Amino acid sequence: MSISASLTATGFAEVIVVLRPATSELVAAAGPSVPSNVLRHFIVSTDSQDGALLEALNAHGPMSTASEAAGGTSAASVRAVAHPKSKARHYPNLGIVLGTVDRVGLAGLRKESAVDKVVPAPQLRLIKPVAVAAATVAPGYTWGLRALRVDQMHAQGLTGKGILVGHLDTGVDGSHPALAGAVKVFAEFDALGNQVTGAKATDSGEHGTHTAGTIAGQPTQGVHFGVAPGAKLASAMVIEGGNVLARILSGMNWAVGQEVRVLSMSLGLPGSSDAFLAITQILRARGVLPVFAVGNEGPGTSRYPGNYAETLSVGAIDSAGAVADFSSSQRFKRKKDPIVPDLVGPGVDIVSCVPGGKYMQMSGTSMATPHIAGLVALLMEAKPEKTIHEIEGALFKSCSLKPGMLPNRANRGFPDGLIALSLL
Amino acid sequence: MVTNSATRQETATAPATSDLVDAVVLLCTPKDASTPSAADTRALAKSVLEEVARETGLNANASTVFENLHSFSVRAPQQFVNAIARLDTVRQVLPNVMSDSAVIEPVKRIPVKLPKGLT
């Protein structure tokens, strides 16, 4: 994200200051402290990525002895890195300083003779882990469905029947037994957003089949993992390759044309941009509730369009009720809905289907998002006369913060399907 | 069967592919804040392309209207796309290919064995 975009969205930006070579050599010789004329332009913000990480670390409390004994980093040393005494981190051998600035600080830095240039700090990305040994799953409802009280909603006869859920992802394996009959319509698009004729319901990866299964997967071998197994999917492959805007817009355009009432998108671009803002406003105006993932880059980060005030953005918790370390969260400089995500859903060790008739546990806000979209489908089935604003409002009011959950990480907290139903 | 509401338009006088850029154009919504109809969007997109063609003497190579989202994609010479961005009826012009991927990768994946003998 550019410095300007970050300042507009959040009021601050994380930057790298490149010192002029002469200054850099002097500073390196002087040690690790940052020159005071440079340091004075930085700010300390609890809403920055560093600040949010520190807050999250503090919320966790001291790290376990086992972690330290196993060679893990102690809490004290992590804090020393995350929150140095200085307002900025200095890398004397590289001749750069890393820190957070507001508009005034940025202007001040650019005027300093010691500063060569100021560039946006790159956002750290997670590295995909390798697959590990297969896990076994007990029959019954998965932890996520139980936590949302979906099992009790199913017992009342609610399955999402009659509700068409929009699902834009890597595609979906329509031949998976758990999704038999679930995919009502499927589409894929070329680079300019033209629909490809005769496309079969296939998945370019496995992400889309997994998220589709969480929305509408049938119980399989005694395991219930689909929130709304009676709902149908309008599913489109829009992120094969991942970076073509027209494909995503075309998928959204197509989903509206299919008359979906809820749109589940476990996708988003890092940072903040208003590229999808007008589109998201149009979705709402057309009666479609946008349920979008907030991202997997941790505190002080988020992805768009999931970070717009106009979307229902979803973070992730684990089965113990703790916000997942990877779950993005961020405070924005706006009056309406300044904190993202709006709420959190089940997003750690989520069982669902993947292509080839297989099953897999995955973790991510991508997994939490279809739980909430499925829950919306159950509420829409129960109360078809209610608007998307009423459904969303009931869902928000049903939320509560579990012990240890911080509002800055979980915002309203975790929803309760039965309470939301009773509020409608 | 194509059920997409997007419509496609191509012209015969397109320049070499290497000179073309792909962009997404977001159109301004009406001042009365009403949601534009599909017909309104198609008409405005057509008007934008025709106006820019008259102004620049160039043509779009291809375009696709997203009639439910008041926007369209276009493949055209850079000069043509620049002219689109200057119109009052255009809210924003975005590059079609973005530098980042929209995929939110799972942070953990573990194969699962379901219990046997149950239905």
Tell me the per-residue pLDDT of A33-60, one tens digit each, with 9 for 90 and over: 667 888 888 887 777 776 676 676 666 6
pTM (predicted TM-score): 0.81
Statement: residue A423 has pLDDT above 80? yes
* Shared-domain flag, residues A175 and A279: yes
* Residue B65 contacts residue B6 (beta carbons within 8 Å): yes
- Which pLDDT score, from 0 to 100, does residue A66 have? 34
Statement: residue A282 has pLDDT above 70? yes
With cut-offs at 50, 70 and 90, classify the pLDDT of residue B108. confident
* Shared-domain flag, residues A100 and A191: no
* Shared-domain flag, residues A115 and A240: no
Statement: residue A95 has pLDDT above 60? yes
In a domain, B116, yes or no: no
* Residue A6 contacts residue A271 (beta carbons within 8 Å): yes
In a domain, B109, yes or no: no
B71-101: burial string, b at 16+ Cβ within 10 Å, e else: bbbbbbbeebbebbeebeebbbbbebebeee
- Which pLDDT score, from 0 to 100, does residue A22 have? 67
* Shared-domain flag, residues A76 and A212: no
In a domain, A275, yes or no: yes
**CATH assignment of the domain containing B76:** 3.30.70.1510
The closest of A140, A213, A139 to A178, measured between CA atoms, is A213
Q: Which one of B25, B107, B113 would you mutate to disrupt binding with A, by most A Cβ within 10 Å of its Cβ?
A: B107
In a domain, B107, yes or no: no
In a domain, B2, yes or no: no
- Which pLDDT score, from 0 to 100, does residue B97 have? 86
Q: Specify which of A10-19, A98-107, A344-353 reaches the highest per-range mean pLDDT.
A: A344-353
CA distance B101 to A91: 30
In a domain, A168, yes or no: yes
* Residue A220 contacts residue A358 (beta carbons within 8 Å): no
Label residue A169 exposed, middle or buried (CB < 10 Å: 0-12, 13-18, 19+).
buried
Q: Name the residue among B62, B73, B102 with its Cβ closest to that of A242.
A: B102
Closest chain A residue to the Cα of B62, Cα to Cα: A192
- Which pLDDT score, from 0 to 100, does residue A350 have? 94
In 3-state terms, what secondary structure has residue A16?
A: strand
In chain B, which among 37-56 make CB contacts under 8 A with chain A?
Answer: none
Least confident of A126-130, A340-344, B35-39: A126-130
Closest chain B residue to the Cα of A275, Cα to Cα: B94
* Shared-domain flag, residues A224 and A167: yes
- The torsion angles phi and psi of A226, rounded to 5 degrees, stand at -90, 125
Count of structural domains, chain B: 1
In a domain, B62, yes or no: yes
Which domain does A245 fall in, by range?
Answer: 140-423
CA B50 to chain centre: 16
With cut-offs at 50, 70 and 90, classify the pLDDT of residue A90. confident
DSSP A225: -
Which domain does B26 fall in, by range?
Answer: 7-95
Closest chain A residue to the Cα of B25, Cα to Cα: A246
Statement: residue A167 has pLDDT above 90? yes
In a domain, B48, yes or no: yes
**CATH assignment of the domain containing A208:** 3.40.50.200
Q: Which one of B11, B104, B105 would you mutate to disrupt binding with A, by most A Cβ within 10 Å of its Cβ?
A: B104
* Residue A420 contacts residue A398 (beta carbons within 8 Å): yes
In a domain, A132, yes or no: no
Q: Name the residue among A128, A245, A358 with its Cβ closest to that of B96.
A: A245
In a domain, B119, yes or no: no
* Shared-domain flag, residues A315 and A356: yes
Question: For A179-193, what is each residue's pLDDT tens digit?
Answer: 999 999 999 988 888
The mean pLDDT of chain A is 86
Statement: residue A131 has pLDDT above 70? no
Statement: residue B31 has pLDDT above 90? no
- Which pLDDT score, from 0 to 100, does residue B72 have? 96
